[in-house]
Amino acid sequence: MKCLNCNTHFEGDFCPRCGQKASTSRFETKEMFLSIIKLLIGGDHKFLVTCKHLLTRPGHMVREFLLGKRTCYYAPIPLLLFLVALYAIVTFALDSTTSPFDLLKIKLNKDDVATDSAQQFVLFFQAVTDNRVYFALFSVLLNLLPYRFIFRKYNIARPDGTFASLNVAEHFFVLVYQTCFNMLLAFALLPFNAVPGSEIWTARLCMVLPTIYCIILYKQICSISWLRSTLLNLLSIVVTLFMSFILLLLTFGLLYGYDYAK
């Protein structure tokens, strides 16, 4: 048999080189609908299965994914992109005065008048961090080194029989999955946007629940106690905040220090 995708000659139901099925019939109406459903839920209910596991046994699922169970779960980055796109479409459907691209827009408040370039920088920084997507992106990147450093002693058993702690890339995937949870939480809180006065407690939930989720994630991944995971996560948050503050001061100093020295 010759694979119609990559021209490899083979025997069996699937091409060993690219994984394509041996039988490729003409497209029919059934496939047309199936491909749309597949796009939404991902092949073998992958999307739904991943979301279910992310909510019920997050750390165990993420550890399985890191240790090699890759095909049966939706990978973190495509999942996050999919959730962000879905969120943009859903919020647009609920309130058509906003465009789906608003999610990526940096909204500068026109009422805030900056008197000098430094103030302009602060307003721009505020606008960037007010955006859910950019804030999530920044926090994943800023969290990488503190998590790598603070969890460096917590080894997990690898499939090849060795023990090693999570490296930077592995922490990255853990934190991207955590951001996927934040998106699921945003979906769950959508109905409350219409409730007047709900902003305060939804904002609090968006602070507290992701932190608790991260504690559960690392508790299950590293097989550590609740207390240890809580302390290590809080320490990581403090270090990240401190690091962000230093980074902000450095950027600010480099950009405007000269103006102020004059």
Residues lying near Zn ion in the complex (CB under 5 A) are found at 3, 5-6, 8, 15, 17-18, 20
Kindly list the distances between the CA atom of residue 228 and the CA atoms of 87, 210, 236, 241, in Å, as whole numbers in the listed order: 34, 17, 12, 20
Report, in Å, the least distance between residue 43 CB and Zn ion. Answer: 18
Q: Kindly tell me which of 11 and 160 has the beta carbon lying closer to Zn ion.
A: 11
Position 47, amino acid: F
Q: Kindly tell me which of 17 and 204 has the beta carbon lying closer to Zn ion.
A: 17
Per the structure block, which two tokens stand in for 162? 């060795």
Backbone angles phi, psi at 210, to 5 degrees: -60, -35
Q: Kindly tell me which of 8 and 126 has the beta carbon lying closer to Zn ion.
A: 8
Kindly list the distances between the CA atom of residue 110 and the CA atoms of 38, 119, 129, 177, in Å, as whole numbers in the listed order: 43, 14, 17, 35
Report, in Å, the least distance between residue 23 CB and Zn ion. Answer: 13
Report, in Å, the least distance between residue 241 CB and Zn ion. Answer: 50
Report, in Å, the least distance between residue 16 CB and Zn ion. Answer: 8
Q: Kindly tell me which of 8 and 24 has the beta carbon lying closer to Zn ion.
A: 8
Helices and strands: H and E segment counts in the chain? 9, 2
Q: Check residue 9 and report its DSSP letter.
A: B
